[in-house]
Structure formats: structure tokens, C-alpha cells
Chain A
């Protein structure tokens, strides 16, 4: 399988704070990649730079064979990147289905006059959008909530709706920023199943997550960041025992104590 995303030597500097330093990341098509690291290690910054919320200070981002480093966010979405946010960012005045309809905006083909004036193509496309929205909602198991205002959904379903909204943009790769935050064990279980079903659709997943149970069971490869640098990368079994990773999470003293007790 080919490489879909190639991040090379990306740095990000926020007025003196070095959030990312010479970071390389390469994601293959169809994989589930987890990006982990302690708080403030630059995981969300990395996603923001890749999806174009802000530009990197240096380095290049190649997506699907194309250099997208200087593209604005909305161009990257058109090329197949979608994301969710760590702190939910749903549209407060919209119902569940309207989120999915709105997110299909970029793929609509009928122009301004066709959509605004009554026309056959316009109403046909609108019907197709609606149908596809219902299909996506049943895929994530929210179809029975379609007409509800999104704000009245319980927290776990709001997280799922954010994922559904990202899927509606028809992405090749989707970045999920802590999708399991605040979920119960049951909800994490069904999230895991959902992630696998998304992968089955041929969509590459990049997952930033703190819940290690989920990461270890779902990710094929894990990238570990600390202070904006990559300190380890590999399959879950390898990462679990990597001394540098344990040190980053637990601190040097605790890690060495753990090491001793293990011996």
C-alpha cells in the first residue's frame, strides 16, 4: 500500500514556544495510526498544521502525492482530509441531519442558479444529499436522531456526530482528535467498532488519543510525541515496552524505579 500522507521536517513555533521540532510522519493508505504523547507534546498542533488551521514554520506536507503545505484548510478538505475537534465544535443551531447536509457542501456540483432557482438538477441533487446523509447517519447509528437539534444529543452521541460530519466530506484520511475523551467504557467499545468499520470503507484514520486501551487495541502503528519531537514509532507491542516512552509518560525517576522492580 502506498503512502497517503508524508510530513517531512515540520516545525511550528508560536512566538518563541517550539511546539513541533523537525517532525517526520509517514502514514500509509488504509492504516489506523495513533499519535500519542503526554499533554502539551504537540499532538493537536500537528493535526492543526496538517489540516491547515495554521501553516507550519518550516517543513513540507505531501498529501496524496501533492504538496499541500501552503493550501488553505478548505482546499485540503476538497482533496480528501477531514477532521474532528478535541473540544466538540458542532453547529449549535443545526439539527443532526443538517450537520451532514452542510458537510456535503463541497461536493455539490449544481451551481448557484441551479440551486437557488427551481430546477430539476437542483432538486435531484438535494434529494441525493438527503439520501446520503441518512446513509451516513445509519452507518454511525444516529439515523433515529436525524431531526433532533444536535445540542440535545447526549455527549457520547455528539462525539459520534462529529465523526459522521467528517465522513460526510467524503475524506481519504480522517483525523480524530481525542474521540474517546469523556466516553464510558461501553461507548469506547462501540467507538472501536466504528473505527474498524470506517477503515473497512478504505478511509485512513489518524487518531490522537489518551485512552491507551483504545489505542493499543485499534492502532496498527503508534507514533509517540514528547515536547514536539517524535520519540518512538512502531506497532503497539513495541511501543508498550519502549523505555523512552515510559519515561516520557511517567517521568525519569518512576520509570527507573519501575525498571528496577521489573528486574
Chain B
């Protein structure tokens, strides 16, 4: 499949997903499914972040939930404890997580291979226990309450529906930004590093810089997701940011299509909604959920995007074939 056709498919998929997400609240009346939708959008932002480091740079990151947690807490503490303006607190959150990713990324990403995965698994656990036990600052197990909602141009986002659309608009903007980065020279260089680090360095690319660059973008996206999460719930507590949550981000990306920005959004939305749809099965829901992921991965390593690409390629080939046959019969 050529680059132009790949882009066409990506555009179609992203438009369909975002249009569905825009229309979904119309069909949702009660509070709980609405919460799920909002979570799907927020997860989508976090998975787009993960895609920078895992998809583009090829480095497995097992601590997205920790980044989300630090983002949530940085925002919440600034907004609640120190009374900062919502937007200033949100920007602080991005800076704080950005600094964390710089300092974690630089020593680890200088090494080749799997060190990031090992480091982030550890970092995940450390973050959770710090949030849990540093009660004087983080509020410990009780967390932080009364987290504010934003206001913009006189609009108050206290209404959940309005807040949902704010999150969705941010998600679309971050989607467009991620696509721009992917198609820029930095995106190409990152792919080169992922494909063959030695060859990329022999072409003059600083692979450490590029991987840290991707990791910081991951941190920034996670911070936005963490901020939105805290502000939507108006409450944070440490037990949200578990390694299980981190693993689920990885499965969302793999399910949707690793290395693909629309795949990240698609995977996050599909799995968040699927998980809730399966809740009625009680203890069996995790089995079905896991089976769905395994089937996808075994059948197609590039997830849902891979399946869609394959279907599209087949259809194009069939169209060409029938065109050829028509030409021949003439």
C-alpha cells in the first residue's frame, strides 16, 4: 500500500471515530455510560502519547499510568492546594511530567534494547507508593477532593456534557499534532531509529536525542490525559494509577495498531467501551477481553489498523483486477 493510500485510510478511520465520539452523547441518557465515553476520550489521549515512545520509537513503556498519576496530582495540587488557575495548573502538569520523562528517559534511552520497559515497571510502583504514603503532600489514600473544572471565554465546564466536548476537542487537536509530528522529519528519523538504530546513527541521527524527544511527547500527552481525568472526576486517589492500568494502555495500542495515531484512538475507544460492555459477565469479562486482544494480535500484529489496511488493499487489488479484465475484453 502506498503512502498516499495509507494516509487516505488513516483519514477515513479518524474521521469515523471522531464523528462517532461526537454523536455518542446524543444516545446516552444516564450518567454511567457517559462516564465511560469520557474515559474513552481521555484514554485515547494517553494511548496517543504511548504511541510516540512505543509506536514511533519502538521502546516499550510500562508506566503510562504513573505519568498520568503525576500529571493528575501536579494539576490537582496546584489547583486545589495552591489555588492556581485551571489552565496554569494544566500547563504546570505538562511541564512536571515533561521533566520527569527527560530525567527518566535520558539515562535509560541511551542504552539500546529493553531497558525502558524494566525501568518504567519499577517507576510505576514507586510512583504509586509515593502517592499513597506521602500523605502530608498528596493526601495519602484519601486523595484530593474538590478538584475544579475549567472555564473558557465565560463558558463553565461544570456540565459533564460540555466537559466531554472540551476533552474531545483537545483530543482532536492532539491527534492532528501527533500526525504532524509523525510526518515531519522528526517522525521519519524516529522510524529510522526504530527500524535499525545502528543504520540510523550511521545516517547522522542522534538516536538518544530522538528517543528522549519521543518520551517527552509521551509525558506531555499523559499529563493532559491525567489533568482531564482529575478534573472530570473532581477527585484523585492513588489506587487509580496501577500497573494494571499501565498494561491496559499497552493493550489498547497493540489492539488498535501499534505505530498508528488513528490506531491509538481507535484501540483506546474500542477497548474502553468493550470492557464496560462486558461487565455484565462478572468474573468472565476479563477472560473475553483478554481473548479478544489475543485473537487480534495473533491474526494481525498491527491490530485493527492492520486488518483495515489488509481489507482495503484487497479491495483495491480486486478493483484493479476487474478493471484489467474489462480492458482485456475490450
Interface flag for B327 (CB, 8 Å):
no
Interface flag for A147 (CB, 8 Å):
yes
Are A104 and B185 in contact, with the CB atoms below 8 A?
yes
Alpha-carbon distance A51/B198, docked complex (angstroms)? 12
Knowing A85-B202, A95-B3 are in contact, say whether A116-B196 is a contact too (CB < 8 A): no
Interface flag for A101 (CB, 8 Å):
yes
Alpha-carbon distance A85/B191, docked complex (angstroms)? 19
Report the minimal beta-carbon distance from B257 to chain A, rounded to whole angstroms.
Answer: 13
Knowing A89-B196, A91-B195, A116-B181 are in contact, say whether A77-B202 is a contact too (CB < 8 A): yes
Are B188 and A83 in contact, with the CB atoms below 8 A?
no
Report the minimal beta-carbon distance from A75 to chain B, rounded to whole angstroms.
Answer: 8
Q: B206: which A residues are within 8 A, CB to CB?
A: 72, 74
Interface flag for B184 (CB, 8 Å):
yes
Q: Which residue of chain A lies nearest to B181 when distances are taken between CB atoms in the complex? A: A116
Interface flag for B186 (CB, 8 Å):
yes
Report the minimal beta-carbon distance from B71 to chain A, rounded to whole angstroms.
Answer: 21
Report the minimal beta-carbon distance from B287 to chain A, rounded to whole angstroms.
Answer: 34
Q: B177: which A residues are within 8 A, CB to CB?
A: 116
Are B204 and A105 in contact, with the CB atoms below 8 A?
yes
Q: Which residue of chain B lies nearest to A115 when distances are taken between CB atoms in the complex? A: B184
Q: Which residue of chain B lies nearest to A175 when distances are taken between CB atoms in the complex? A: B202
Q: Which residue of chain A lies nearest to B5 when distances are taken between CB atoms in the complex? A: A147
CB interface residues, B 149-207, toward A, < 8 Å: 177, 180-181, 184-186, 188-189, 191-192, 194-196, 198-207
Report the minimal beta-carbon distance from A8 to chain B, rounded to whole angstroms.
Answer: 23
Are A53 and B188 in contact, with the CB atoms below 8 A?
no
Interface flag for B283 (CB, 8 Å):
no
Q: B329: which A residues are within 8 A, CB to CB?
A: none
Partner of B188, one of A78, A82, A102, A118: A102
Q: B195: which A residues are within 8 A, CB to CB?
A: 91-94
Binary per-residue interface labels of chain A (68-85) against chain B in the complex, 1 for a CB within 8 Å, 0 otherwise:
000011100110001101
Alpha-carbon distance A51/B180, docked complex (angstroms)? 32
Q: Which residue of chain A lies nearest to B2 when distances are taken between CB atoms in the complex? A: A147
Q: B186: which A residues are within 8 A, CB to CB?
A: 112, 115-116
Alpha-carbon distance A102/B180, docked complex (angstroms)? 15
Q: Which residue of chain A lies nearest to B199 when distances are taken between CB atoms in the complex? A: A89
Q: Footprint of A on B, CB under 8 Å?
A: 2-3, 177, 180-181, 184-186, 188-189, 191-192, 194-196, 198-207, 259
Beyond A105-B185, A122-B184: 7 further Cβ-contacts under 8 Å?
A: A93-B191, A101-B185, A102-B191, A105-B204, A106-B204, A108-B185, A117-B180
Q: Footprint of B on A, CB under 8 Å?
A: 51, 53, 72-74, 77-78, 82-83, 85, 89-95, 98, 101-106, 108, 112, 115-118, 122, 126, 129, 147, 165-166, 169
